[in-house]
Amino acid sequence: MSLDALTKMVKEKATQNVSLGHTVLFDMGDDGAIFWDGTQNPAVISNDKAEAETTLKLSSASLQKMLDGGMNATLAYMTGSLKISGSMGVALKINAMMED
């Protein structure tokens, strides 16, 4: 799946949920990045590799599975498919939003 398609899916998740109140970076290495600025209302989603409170490092395939509901973020973290730096609380909020 393309970066544009993944970005669109993250935007849809952001609009379906209440304000996050934090910044998150989905770092997919060479496949790009998605920055979620949940401090603004509505949330601003971009492909900037900006400084964030929480960074989720994962492959684009893993992000797609999480967005599609085919992979639980907790399982991805426990198996090493997802690495988290920054606030674990924010990561848990993202996990809950992905499951909605």
Structural domain total, the chain: 1
Contact in structure between 45 and 34 (CB atoms under 8 Å): yes
Whether 21 maps to a domain, the answer reads yes
pLDDT confidence bin for 66, thresholds 50/70/90 = confident
Average pLDDT over residues 35-50: 91
Classify residue 98: in a domain, yes or no. Answer: no
**Strand arrangement, sheet containing 54-58:** 44-46, 33-37, 23-27, 54-58, 82-86
Asked if residue 100 belongs to a domain, the reply is: no
What are the pLDDT digits (tens) for 3-17? Answer: 999 999 999 888 887
CATH of residue 65: 3.30.1050.10
- Binned at pLDDT 50, 70 and 90, residue 100 comes out as low
Residue 26 pLDDT > 90: yes
Q: How far apart are the C-alpha atoms of 68 and 47, rounded to whole Å?
A: 20
Q: Average pLDDT for residues 50-68, to the nearest whole number?
A: 92
| Domain span holding position 69 | 3-92
